Amino acid sequence: MSNYEQRMQDTYAAAMGTGWTAYAGVLLLASGAFDVIAGVALLAKNSHLASGLFWGRPFWGVVFLIIGGVMLYAGLGLLTKIPGARAIGILVTIVAGFVGLLWAAGGAPANTTWVLVGIAVDLLILYALVARGEGAAPKA
């Protein structure tokens, strides 16, 4: 193998998964920001938002604030290649999907619509982190 071919393979190996990881990081930042906004809206006792399946608006507000904060951390960690950020991103995305379903089961159709949009975004994040994150190794 020539030096040129070796450099080409090294470049490909270094770049593989980088775009998908950045994509997942940006989606995590956006999803986390929306979850923080939803948490603040629920804590502000917004009458347009229904309560969740088991508990009232304040509980779900705190839950969405926590999930949004962790998503923001994971998104920033992915973009700066912090070790373990990918695992945190995968875990918090799965938890956010289930929390969204529990919240949407509480009532209003608007909840269901936006939760389904959020789950679609969560699936894109999971695809980017799990199926396309081959070369997303942290900095040595």
Q: Which domain holds residue 100?
A: 3-131
Residue 18 has pLDDT above 90, yes or no: no
On whether residue 11 sits in a domain, the answer given is yes
Phi first, then psi, for residue 113 (nearest 5°) are -60, -50
Lowest-pLDDT range, 24-38, 79-93, 103-117, 122-136?
A: 103-117
Q: Are 96 and 34 a contacting pair, CB within 8 Å?
A: no
**Residue 67: which pLDDT band, with cuts at 50, 70 and 90?**
very high
Split at pLDDT 50, 70, 90, the class of 69 is very high
Q: What is the mean pLDDT of residues 101-118?
A: 72
In a domain, 57, yes or no: yes
Query: Is the four-CA dihedral 34, 40, 46, 51 of positive or negative sign?
Result: positive
Question: Does residue 23 form part of some domain?
Answer: yes
- pTM value is 0.75
Tell whether 68 is covered by a domain: yes
Please count the structural domains in the chain.
1
Residue 107 backbone class (left: φ over 0; alpha: ψ -120 to 50; beta: rest):
left
